[in-house]
Structure 1
Amino acid sequence: MKTKLPYYLFCILILVSCQDKELLLNEETETIPAGLMATPSKVVVINEPDTSLNGDYCATVSINDPEAKNASKHNLTIKVEKGYLKEIRNEDHTVIQDFQGVFFNDDRFTEFQTNGLEYRISILATLEECYSGELKGFSVRCNGITQKGKQCKNRTLHASKLCVHHRE
């Protein structure tokens, strides 16, 4: 028992000296003021909306549904106020509204998620420029009514939204 007592005392002495050294190390490393990080941070640039964007525009709208594994791309009309997206008008005359904080930068592009769908929108031109025929591939369904009382199925680029047959 007498031979074990010095051994235990030696172990206790080593443990106490290690704890004192650890306290000294902790005191030295705690020179950073509270609230500051000791590691480098990643800087994120937050873009501002392009407030010059006001009115109706034609845009390429890509919609991805990750759950259904379905993607589509359409040329549609959109409404923008002070750089913020207000509505998307679909080809079937339905309107999607109530977007929260979705804005376009000076590159005229935005992407966002809502209701499980991922949207990417790129503004092509003002609505007047789209219907002037300068923008290929952007057309709308004719608003004319056929003799049978149904909406015309023709597509048009004309600003009146009427095909050549219904403009006469």
Structure 2
Amino acid sequence: MSDLRQVQFDNLETAVDDARQLLASGYVRHGNWSLGQICRHLVLVQDYAIGGYPAWMSLFAPLRPLMRWLLLPKLLSADSPRGFRTSSIFQPPDDLEDATEVEAFAASVGRLLDHSGSFAPHPGFGRLPPGKILEIHTAHAAHHLRHLRSQDEPS
């Protein structure tokens, strides 16, 4: 755990800045995914917030109040839990170009921030105010980007 950066972003734009900085400086991986894979994963998850999640992801909708109460505060903390397997639809392929995926992440963040309607209900937490959805995606970005450390940064 000590190899992970302590990362908390104030907003998604700061997460994009961090990804661009890691791209510019080079990075050391302390997890399973490259910068490109992390950015693709973030895009896959974020884009469903606007377009709607697959129907099967609502199977556990009755548990959402419990998940909001028990799990959401932990996920929003700086020390969010590790080791959860993600659904195959959110798994990035291995052969991604970091620069392309960082810019795709930036574009996805732009779509989220420019979105004026309501967001799709989150599969785990249900319908939430736009600010809370953005907070979840910001914490999600920090959760994954903390597994990369700039080559210029001591470990």
- The structure showing larger relative contact order (alpha-carbon pairs under 8 Å, at least 6 residues apart) is 2
Q: Which has the larger radius of gyration?
A: 1
**Larger proportion of strand:** 1
TM-score (norm 1): 0.24
